[in-house]
Amino acid sequence: FQALAGGPDVFSQPLEESEAMQALYAQKSPPVWAFLNDIEPYLWSSAAGGRHPQSDERVQQLFTEGDTELIVTYQATLAAEQVEAGVWPSTTKAYLMTSQPDGTISNTNFVAIPINAPHKAASMVVGNYLGHMESIIARFDPKGGHGWGALPALDPASSQAAYSGWNTAFEAVCADLAGTAPTVEELATHRVGELHSSYITQINADWAKYVHARPE
């Protein structure tokens, strides 16, 4: 969608709060559905004729079984993790999109404490732990105890990381991932922001209407 219609720089306000954004969306979104319909014949299809797997787990299964040649994921270390586990062949590589738009859509996880949370202090303790370097590295390392491979929210090359010595831990993880995953620096350089959630809701609805529900 962002390659053909535009990203946060174009759709700069929540969709439901701006008539101008709604008009712009109506103007710019049709080429997206046309493109998706054009590539339908080249997509995976089930024996029953369906072309749209219902979950990310199913998409990964299709890739594992050799039924698809490419998958898209937020988890930059997924390929390294699956290669290490022997699930995917050693030739599997993760790469970044670097054109149209100039980068790869990326985000980081966050936590929030509800206003009516009964144990706010305890929640803050958990939040502090999640923001600690040790916890960030544990989540980043796909071979660690968490086995997650989550993108770090902090810059491992920052003075804070260097001063604390945690930059060496980041470097060790990156060395293990070399060749199968983009580096943290590459991820940061090519990071592209996401659209406001109101657009995601509308995109999902329009995809179901103009692409998924379209007669074969």
- pLDDT tens across 50-61, in order? 778 888 899 999
Instruction: Give, as one character, the DSSP assignment of residue 64.
Output: H
Residue 110 lies in a domain: no
User: Containing domain of residue 38, as a range?
Assistant: 15-105+194-212
Where does residue 64 fall: left (phi above 0), alpha (psi -120 to 50 degrees), or beta otherwise?
Answer: alpha
Q: What is the pLDDT of residue 75?
A: 80
Contact between residue 191 and residue 103 where contact means Cβ atoms under 8 Å apart: yes
Domain membership flag for residue 172: yes
Q: Report the pLDDT value the prediction gives residue 144, as an integer from 0 to 100.
A: 66
Predicted local distance difference test score (pLDDT) of residue 158:
76
- Tokens matching residue 102: 């100039």
State how beta strands 104-105 and 191-192 pair.
parallel
Structure tokens at 128: 């502090």
Average pLDDT, whole number, for the chain? 84
Q: What is the CA radius of gyration of the chain?
A: 20
d(CA 183, CA 179): 9
215 pLDDT tier (thresholds 50, 70, 90):
low
**Does a structural domain hold residue 113?**
no
| Domain identity same for 164 and 99 | no
If asked whether residues 100 and 136 sit together in one domain, one would say: no
Q: Is residue 79 part of a domain?
A: yes
Question: Could you tell me if 62 and 129 lie in one domain?
Answer: no
7: which 2 tokens? 């990203």
pLDDT band at 74 (very low <50, low <70, confident <90, very high): confident
- 39 and 80 co-located in one domain: yes
pLDDT above 70 (res 145): no
Model pLDDT, residue 160: 76
Contacts (Cβ under 8 Å, ≥6 apart) of 133:
154, 161, 164, 166, 169
Q: Is the pTM of this model over 0.95?
A: no
Number of domains in the chain: 2
> 156 and 176 in one domain?
yes
Confidence band for 147, pLDDT divided at 50, 70 and 90: low
184 and 198 together in one domain: no
Tell me the pLDDT band of 49, cut-offs 50, 70 and 90. Answer: low
